[in-house]
Chain A
Amino acid sequence: MEQPRRITDSCPRRRRRRGPGRPPGRLKDKKDKDKVQVKVRDCPRSPSQPPPDAALLEMLRRFDLCWEYGPCTGITRLQRWERAQELGLSPPDPIRDALLEHRDNPEVTYRWVWGGM
């Protein structure tokens, strides 16, 4: 999974030593940081890429459940497609195009998770 991108990544990184009297990070600060990260992650996506629609996700889910191409857990959908291609099972090409078009979206690249497994 790629690292969440922060606004501060564009600023030069400089090591800052803590002063002697600074207390360690408090729980309240950590919660705020998480919220900020979620907001920032959605912003810097290229504007030319529309979000995938439900029909595409349904087609990918059906690709996952096809038993001919082997197990679908633990590998990305693109890896599974390429493995099926090499074994000569001729998986359909539109799936590969869809996977490459939306390669930044983790819902598309990985199999459908239910309960986060």
Chain B
Amino acid sequence: MFSEQAAPTAQGLLAPPSGEPPTFPRVPVSGYSDCSQPFQLGERSFSRQYAHIYAVRLAGMRPGLERRARSRWGSDVALRKLSELQAGEKCCVVGTLFKAMQLQPSILQEISEEHNLVPQPPLPKYIQPSDELILEDELQRIKLEGAIDVQRLVTGTIVAVYGSEQEDGKFLVEDHCFADLPPPLPWNGPSSDRFVLLASGLGLGSVSGEALLSTQLLVDVVTGQLGAEGEQSCAAHIARVILAGNLLSQNTQSRDTINKAKYLTKKTQAASVEAVKMLDEILLQLCTSVPVDVMPGEFDPTNYTLPQQPLHRCMLPLASAYATLRLVTNPYQANLDGVRFLGTSGQNISDIFKYSSMDDYLEILEWTLLAGHISPTAPDTLGCYPFYKSDPFILTECPHVYFCGNAPHFQSKLLQGKEGQRVLLVTVPDFSATQTACLVNLRDLTCQPITFSGFGADSED
């Protein structure tokens, strides 16, 4: 966007300042509605167990999976519960997957005295060839083997398997299917170019200040204070900015002060206090010019379990005076100009990355969409609130833009579904590492990266 319109007007930078500088009105905000009410927790009660969330997940996704099974394996396929299985009969079973992993960190093993184990250091991936898949329904469980990729799948996915029970009590799988893409939403997108900037992983409060220049350049580009008239008119087409998590860096999470003596730590302040002040100033500059949605991430001062609640506005006194600042939940869903956005700060994708053989964040993102659930590994390996009434992470409608934050690289893909779904999948890269943000064009669902960098002391030129 920026490059083709900026070049012709670059000469304007060398001209003397004119008496009447041209102004570029930003595209007006039309049609915004927040759809993340299922992720907002009112009163929280932790006196429940997690059996409820698995039960409602299975009960909620079972009808859709049964329909998919009938359309795939014939409308007369036998749908059985595990308690009704007969040896040798070809049938279809719908249930929850459980992957028994040897390396999965288990708190019970760690504190068990008979094992005398040293706590396991965190590994990048916990998969092993000896992992097994088990299918569970409401009452029983059975081991799976056959045409099913054990390494690729993760615990908590609802799946329909077609096969037969063997003599040794295991289920031989001939074919399996997931919930597939949810039904499409009608398209009411804008007819002219309108952009949304997606950025994540600003990483404020880190020890090195190198990313601060890039962050300031990002703010200047969006508020139109950078570049010639061409760039400024392009920036006026940015309708919204979404910050997808990890606004604070991981360095702010250090808890060394807990282990030190009280007299050494009396006057020290948590690193996150300074970082939040910096965040407030950056958000103030952005909010005076463009609507901003701020999602919390893994290292931000909010609750740990999904769905993460919005940051409190008392932490951002300067920026929350503006109505353009919206503090939103971690899986975030909204209608922007008729285009449905759904995204997370990346904890769900990086958790699946640890427990699956899939290496590509875009592939995992696409797989969660096809499995019909934003985060199947919650609550097993990712913290989750104990819902009992319904599982809000089940995908009931297909979004138009599905993003995840804090990915290692920028990737995007337009997915077309059989029922006319068009989804733009975007993995938003970590800004503090890559200095890259994404611009999504709402008119034709395309996405382009925009990178900011400054010249360091040790670079040539």
Chain A residues near B (Cβ < 8 Å): 67-68, 70-71, 73-75, 79, 82-83, 86-87, 89
Contact = CB atoms under 8 A, between A and B. Distances in A.
A70 B52 CA distance: 7
Contacts of A89: 59
Contacts of A82: 389
B56 A67 contact: no
- Indicate the member of A74, A75, A82 with the most B CB atoms within 10 Å: A74
Interface string B38-67: 000000000111011001100110000000
Nearest to A87: B59
Given A74-B388, A75-B388, A86-B389, A67 B138 contact: yes
Given A74-B49, A75-B388, A82-B389, 16 more contacts: A67-B138, A68-B138, A70-B55, A70-B59, A71-B52, A71-B55, A73-B48, A74-B48, A74-B388, A75-B52, A79-B388, A79-B389, A83-B388, A83-B389, A87-B59, A87-B60
- Indicate the member of A68, A71, A79, A83 with the most B CB atoms within 10 Å: A71
B66 to A, nearest CB: 13
B390 interface: yes
Contacts of B258: none
B389 A73 contact: no
Contacts of A86: 389-390
A89 B59 CA distance: 9
A73 B49 contact: yes
Contact of A75 (B48, B59, B60): B48
B117 interface: no
Contact of B56 (A68, A73, A74, A87): A87
A68 B55 CA distance: 10
B51 A83 contact: no
A68 B47 CA distance: 22
Nearest to B46: A74
B139 interface: yes
16 contacts: A67-B138, A67-B139, A68-B138, A70-B52, A70-B55, A70-B56, A70-B59, A71-B49, A71-B51, A75-B388, A79-B389, A83-B56, A83-B388, A83-B389, A87-B59, A89-B59
- Indicate the member of A68, A73, A82 with the most B CB atoms within 10 Å: A73
Contacts of A87: 56, 59-60
Interface of B: 47-49, 51-52, 55-56, 59-60, 138-139, 388-390
B274 to A, nearest CB: 41
A79 B47 CA distance: 14
Contacts of B59: 70, 87, 89
Nearest to A75: B388
Q: Which 10 A-B pairs have the closest CB atoms?
A: A74-B48, A70-B55, A71-B51, A87-B59, A83-B389, A75-B388, A71-B52, A71-B55, A74-B47, A67-B138
A82 B388 CA distance: 11
Contacts of A79: 388-389
Contacts of A70: 51-52, 55-56, 59
B288 to A, nearest CB: 44
A11 to B, nearest CB: 30
A74 B52 contact: yes
Contacts of A73: 48-49, 51
Contacts of B389: 79, 82-83, 86
A75 B51 CA distance: 12
Contacts of A75: 48, 52, 388
Contacts of A71: 49, 51-52, 55
Nearest to A88: B63
Nearest to B386: A74
B38 to A, nearest CB: 13
A73 B388 CA distance: 10
- Indicate the member of B47, B49, B52 with the most A CB atoms within 10 Å: B52
A51 to B, nearest CB: 27
Nearest to A74: B48
B439 to A, nearest CB: 40
Nearest to A84: B59
A2 B460 CA distance: 72
Contacts of B47: 74
Nearest to B58: A70
A53 B346 CA distance: 53
A74 B48 CA distance: 5
B445 to A, nearest CB: 34
Contacts of B48: 73-75
Contacts of A83: 56, 388-390
A70 B390 CA distance: 12
B84 to A, nearest CB: 14
A71 B53 CA distance: 10
Nearest to A71: B51
A73 B49 CA distance: 8
A36 to B, nearest CB: 28
Contacts of B51: 70-71, 73
Contacts of B55: 70-71
Contacts of B390: 83, 86
A52 to B, nearest CB: 24
A87 B389 CA distance: 9
A2 to B, nearest CB: 15
